[in-house]
Amino acid sequence: MQFTSVTFDLDGTLVDSLPDLCTACQRMLQELGLPSRSLDEIGRFVGEGMAVLVERCLTFAAPPDAALLARGIATFRHHYALTNGTLTRCYPGVEEALHAWQATGIAMAVVTNKPEAFTLQLLEKLALTPFFPVVVGGDTTAQRKPHPAPLLHACATMERAVAGNLHIGDSRHDIATARNAGCAVYAVPYGYHGGEPLRADECDALVADIATALRLAQLPAR
């Protein structure tokens, strides 16, 4: 089909943000007097938004109570605001591929569970802002992925029908989001997927990277 818009997940799809997320999580845990977490653990916790990341970090013998969770979220916010974009880097080939996507004239957006303020901060630091006139964060709509609301909001803002959208992500949450919204979805095999590799039969295509996704989508350059 001819796609009229494309939405990209951010963390684990366009950028490797785990080093900064890990630093903020470790500083949060240290400030709260709790044991540290490994990079692998935190990588498995990423993908469902900031509050879920913090809750998983704080869950040892039992989940944190409401007071500890609130302290954890506030502490994480403080530290991540300082670390966001420090060590985060685009995956190889992403910037070149985004230029190629942009050259087709297709409407482009980021749809992520990262809070909007942190998303905008990160896109600015990595000089990715010009690619994405539309940015939907985890708190832009009342629900976050895998609820369809973020994708529907992005398509409405781009003034494109969701049926003509292609969503590209790295996790089953991205696949479920696209399915719930009623659009096509390609998945990349790297990124943060809870330690469970994605399968080609779970999505419309399992692609090596977003450059491969563009070739598969067969969008001509303007």
Residues labelled catalytic: 9
CA distances from 219 to 70, 159, 163 (A): 46, 19, 16
Secondary structure letter of residue 46 according to DSSP: T
- φ, ψ at 99 (rounded to 5°): -60, -40
Strand partners, 15: 11, 90
Inter-residue contact 99 to 70 (CB < 8 Å): no
Q: Residues with Cβ < 8 Å from 207, sequence gap 6 or more?
A: 168, 186, 187, 188, 213, 216
CA distances from 68 to 28, 43, 63 (A): 11, 22, 10
Indicate if the alpha-carbon torsion angle 73, 77, 79, 83 is positive or negative.
positive
Question: 204: helix, coil or strand?
Answer: coil
